[in-house]
Amino acid sequence: MGEAGPFGPDRFRNGNDTWLAVLPTTERLAADSVGLVEEVRAEVRSLDASVGGYPAELADYRAGVVERLPLVGGLILLVTFIVLFLMTGSVVAPIKASILNLLSLSVMFGVLVWGFQNGGLAPLLGFTPTGTIEPSIPLLMFCIAYGLSMDYEVFLLSRIKEDFDRTGDVVGSVPRGIAQSAPLVSAAALILAASFAVYATSEVVFLQQLGIGMALAVLVDATIIRGILLPAFMRLAGPANWWAPGPLRRWHARFGWREGAVTQPAVSVLI
C-alpha cells in the first residue's frame, strides 16, 4: 500500500474510489484534444469511471453546442417564415430571405476558415493559427449576422410591398421600394461595419474573428446581397414574389400585419 500521509499513494484514494491522471504530451493536446478524450473514455468505458479535466470539459461543451444546432437552425427558419409571411402574405418572400441570408453567412464563415483556421490572415494580424476555431464564436456570429441581415430584409421588403400594394406594379415597385430604404440600410451598414472592424485591431484572436467576420458580412449583405441579388431575384420572380396558397391568403387577409394607413388631415380654405 505504501506509506500513509499527504504524499503517499493513498492520497489518490477515497474509500472505493481512485483518482488517476493521464499526462498527454503537448503535441498530442495541440493536435486533437477532443480525440484524446474519446480515446481515454473508450479505455475506461467498461469501468464505472468519469473522465474530467479541461480537455474533457471542452469536448463536452462542443458536443453540447453541435447537438443543439439543428434545433436552433430550425427554430430560426420557422420564426423567419412566420414573421415574413405575416408581413407580406407571401410564402416565397421568407424562403428567398433565408436563402439570401445564408449566402452572406457563407461569406463570413469562409473568411473564418481561410483567414483564421487555415491562417490566411495570420501574417497580417500577427497570430499563430491552430487549425481549429472555438465553436461558440461562429455560433455567436451566426446569430448576430442573421439578425442584422433580416433587419435589412425587412426594411427593403416593407417598402417594396407598400409600393406594390399601392400601385399594383410588380416590376416598378422593386426599384422604387429599394430607393426609399437603401439610404437607411447603407448608413446602418457602414456604421455597423466600422464598429465591428475596430475589434480587428485587438490582439485577442476571437475578437479579431468577430470584428473581421461581422464587418465583412454586414458589407456584403448590404451591397451585393440586398443591392444586387435581392432586386434581381424579385425582378425574375415577378408576380410569384407575392404568391401564397388560397387558404394562407385568406388567413393573412384576416390576421396579417399591415402598416397603418396615414390619413392626411383635412384642410379647409376660407375665401
Global confidence as pTM: 0.74
pLDDT digits (tens, 9 = 90+) for 248-260: 888 888 887 876 5
Could you give the CA distance from residue 27 to residue 100 in angstroms, rounded to a whole number?
A: 42
Do 34 and 78 share a structural domain?
Answer: no
Question: Do the Cβ atoms of 166 and 259 come closer than 8 Å?
Answer: no
Average pLDDT of the chain to the nearest whole number: 82
Question: Which phi and psi angles does 14 have, rounded to 5°?
Answer: -145, 95
Q: Does residue 211 belong to any structural domain of this protein?
A: yes
- Residue-number span of the structural domain to which 77 is assigned: 68-244
Burial of 5 (0-12, 13-18, 19+ CB in 10 A): exposed
Residue 270 has pLDDT above 50, yes or no: no
Number of Cβ atoms within 10 Å of the Cβ of 38: 14
pLDDT digits (tens, 9 = 90+) for 125-143: 888 887 878 878 888 898 8
Do 209 and 109 share a structural domain?
Answer: yes
pLDDT digits (tens, 9 = 90+) for 158-202: 899 999 989 989 889 999 999 988 888 889 899 999 999 999 888
If one counts the domains in the chain, the total is: 2
Residue 61 has pLDDT above 80, yes or no: no
